[in-house]
Structure 1
Amino acid sequence: MYKFAPADQTHWDTFFGTIESGSFSNVQSLLHALFTKITFVLITGIWFLTSKNWWRFAILVPFTMFLFQLSGVISYKVKYMDEYDFWDSLPFILPIVFLVVYISYRLSVRKPKSTLDEEAKEEVRNMFSDEL
């Protein structure tokens, strides 16, 4: 899509409306950055929504980063795109990381499945045996 935009103009009149390059040098650079960020947001969003693993919340870390980067592209006042987004998104990322670490710890403390299966089978045998 961005290849259709003029590489030498700061604004582009389309049937959707006028697109201005803002802090970018031309409209083509703006659209390239915009569609790149939108693509990454969509891919990680779909991955998070379709994942059934316990660690799927870890996907929210790059998703948050991509959302902050997308907001940097959309905002015309940002001069340094993709440079301070990590520090801006850190208050959102830290709780996610702590949640994933906590879940991981709880799962590692839990007994393995094979041990639980053996205990359950032994309990069933004791219930149906003549030994009480």
Structure 2
Amino acid sequence: MSNRNRIKKKLIIEGLFALLIAISPILFYSYKYLPVTSDNTWSILGITFSNNGYDDITVAFYFYLSKLIPLALLIIWFTTAKNWWYHIILIPISMYAFQLYSVFSEDASKIDENEILYLVAVCMVIIPIVYFIRVKLVDRYVHGIDLEAMEAELKILKEKQGLNSTLDAPIKDEFNGKETNTDNDQGIEQTVPTKGLNNIFHQVRHVLQSWF
């Protein structure tokens, strides 16, 4: 797909989103103007809607649209948001999705009752993800802590330390050899004077013995 066609497709999708947002109030209040038949039903595109347990079909569509319109707007917001916290929008999306499912059920007496239990499960997944993203951004842009850069620097430092230890081993061996030779030389130097002194003491003793 060429760049021009991609831009054209993007503009069409964004135009549809803008149109849907603009007419959302009209879509919501359309439940008041449904062409209801005598048997309290409404047919469109071969699909027949009934009151579904509600007092009237207009009441049923009031509940449908009160969940569907915010859900659609939130989905548009989620798909077009560029903020780091956009994942948190999944929580109200889940809320309206669960509520929409409940209003479509036949038991109209249990609307908006147990959805909070499912919503808590969603929050337990979404909130830690958003918090983790926030912590990483704060560490990087506020405190100047880049964990990935620090890990890379530590890896390079460890590699350098390993290389230095490899290079230092022969030098240490040579240095230890020199130290050993030095010690031997010192031992030799210490041995020579000691032997000389012993000979002198022996000669002096021999002279003294000859005198007495």
**Common fold: TM-score over 0.5:** yes
2:120 is aligned to 90
Q: How far 1:111 moved relative to its partner?
A: 4.3
Question: Cα–Cα, structure 1 residues 34 and 107, in superposed 2: closer, same or farther, change >3 Å?
Answer: same
2:83 is aligned to 53
The residue type equivalent to 2:57 in the other structure is: V
Q: Deviations over 1:30-58 (max 9, x none)?
A: 01111121101110000001100110001
Largest Rg, 1 or 2: 2
Q: How far 1:88 moved relative to its partner?
A: 2.2
**Farther off after superposition, 47-56 or 18-27:** 18-27
1:79 & 1:67 partners in 2: Cα distance? Answer: 18
- Equivalent position SS for 1:11: coil
Q: How far 1:79 moved relative to its partner?
A: 2.6
Please list every run of at least 4 consecutive aligned residues from structure 1 whose deviation after the TM superposition is greater than 4 angstroms.
113-116
Q: How far 1:86 moved relative to its partner?
A: 1.4
TM-score by length of 2: 0.48
2:58 & 2:77 partners in 1: Cα distance? Answer: 28
**Larger relative CO (CA 8 A, sep 6+): 1 or 2?**
1
2:177 is aligned to none
2:90 & 2:113 partners in 1: Cα distance? Answer: 19
Is 1:38 matched up with 2:53? no
1:53 & 1:110 partners in 2: Cα distance? Answer: 16
Structure richer in helix, relative to its length = 2
1:73 & 1:109 partners in 2: Cα distance? Answer: 44
RMSD: 2.5
Tell me if structure 1 keeps the 8 A contact 2:95–2:115.
yes
1:120 is aligned to none
Question: Cα–Cα, structure 1 residues 10 and 57, in superposed 2: closer, same or farther, change >3 Å?
Answer: farther
Question: Cα–Cα, structure 1 residues 115 and 81, in superposed 2: closer, same or farther, change >3 Å?
Answer: closer
1:12 is aligned to 41
Question: Cα–Cα, structure 1 residues 83 and 104, in superposed 2: closer, same or farther, change >3 Å?
Answer: same
**Farther off after superposition, 79-88 or 64-73:** 79-88
**Percentage of matched positions with identical amino acids:** 25
